[in-house]
């Protein structure tokens, strides 16, 4: 995994978005690689990517591209403008084959926050596919089941709208969401 290799010595970053889902096992093709890092640290990651033969950083614009048969844009995001969720050295990440990925419950929360602000139906649909993937991933890997305080953006109202528009009711329930009361992650699973 070229991103993991290039950023191996860099402590505080995480893949987010569709590229994080791909690292977690999604077969959905992503158009870019999104990584988040703490505010004010973009130059650190960009320097490491620039030093790698697998990436190209345009000097004038800092546009970063993964060199592949079909080049892939690398977006370096920082909170709060480009990544709406908090992210710092204390934010939980997991490592998959040397690549740091935002903890799945936090990814799910970020997707729930971004889906309503998407400009096109295609982007909302893509987010819904990622949300469904993450719900199933968490259900299949119980150690990653969301805790209620990790999912403030998954309001009962939002979940019902997402289910109405894109389906996936079973995935929400398997991941511990109560369609009756809203967020009941883990608490509802341990009460039964």
In angstroms, the first-to-last Cα distance of the chain is 40
The residue ranking higher by pLDDT, 101 or 29, is: 101
The answer to whether the beta carbons of residues 42 and 76 sit under 8 Å apart is yes
Query: What's the pLDDT tens digit per position in 100-155?
Result: 999 999 999 999 999 999 999 999 999 999 999 999 999 999 999 998 889 999 99
- Domain range annotation of the chain: 1-102, 104-192
pLDDT number for residue 183: 57
* Helix or strand (DSSP H, E) at 140: helix 121-140
Residue with structure tokens 């084959």? 97
Query: Strands across the sheet with 64-66, in order?
Result: 55-57, 64-66, 72-77, 32-36, 14-16, 99-102, 93-96
Residues in contact with 64: Cβ distance below 8 Å, sequence separation at least 6, in sequence order = 46, 49, 50, 55, 56, 57, 58, 73, 74, 75, 76
Handedness of CA 10, 60, 118, 26 (dihedral sign): negative
* pLDDT band for position 30 (cuts 50, 70, 90): confident
Euclidean distance between CA atoms 118 and 162, whole angstroms: 14
Asked: is 1-102 a CATH 3.20.20 domain? The reply is no
Residues in contact with 131: Cβ distance below 8 Å, sequence separation at least 6, in sequence order = 108, 111, 112, 115, 162, 168
Q: Is the pLDDT of residue 84 over 60?
A: yes
- Round the average pLDDT of the chain to a whole number and report it: 89
Q: What is the helix, strand, coil percentage profile of the chain, to 5?
A: 45, 15, 40
Q: Is the pLDDT of residue 28 over 70?
A: yes
For residue 93, what are the β-bridge partners?
102
3-class SS at 77? strand
């Amino acid at each position: 995994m070229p991103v993991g290799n290039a950023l191996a010595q860099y402590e505080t970053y995480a893949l987010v978005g569709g590229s994080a889902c791909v690292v977690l096992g999604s077969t959905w093709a992503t158009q870019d690689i999104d990584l988040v890092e703490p505010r004010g640290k973009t130059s650190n990651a960009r320097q490491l990517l620039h030093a790698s033969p697998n990436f190209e950083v345009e000097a004038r614009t800092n546009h970063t591209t993964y060199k592949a048969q079909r080049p892939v844009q690398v977006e370096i995001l920082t909170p709060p403008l480009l990544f709406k969720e908090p992210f710092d050295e204390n934010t939980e990440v997991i490592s998959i084959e040397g690549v740091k990925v935002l903890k799945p419950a936090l990814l799910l929360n970020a997707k729930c926050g971004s889906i309503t602000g998407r400009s096109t139906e295609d982007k909302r649909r893509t987010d819904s596919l990622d949300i469904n993937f993450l719900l199933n991933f968490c259900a299949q890997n119980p150690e990653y089941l969301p805790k209620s305080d990790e999912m403030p953006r998954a309001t009962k109202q939002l979940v019902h709208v997402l289910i109405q528009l894109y389906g996936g009711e079973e995935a929400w329930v398997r991941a511990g969401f109560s369609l009756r009361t809203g967020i009941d992650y883990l608490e509802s699973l341990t009460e039964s």
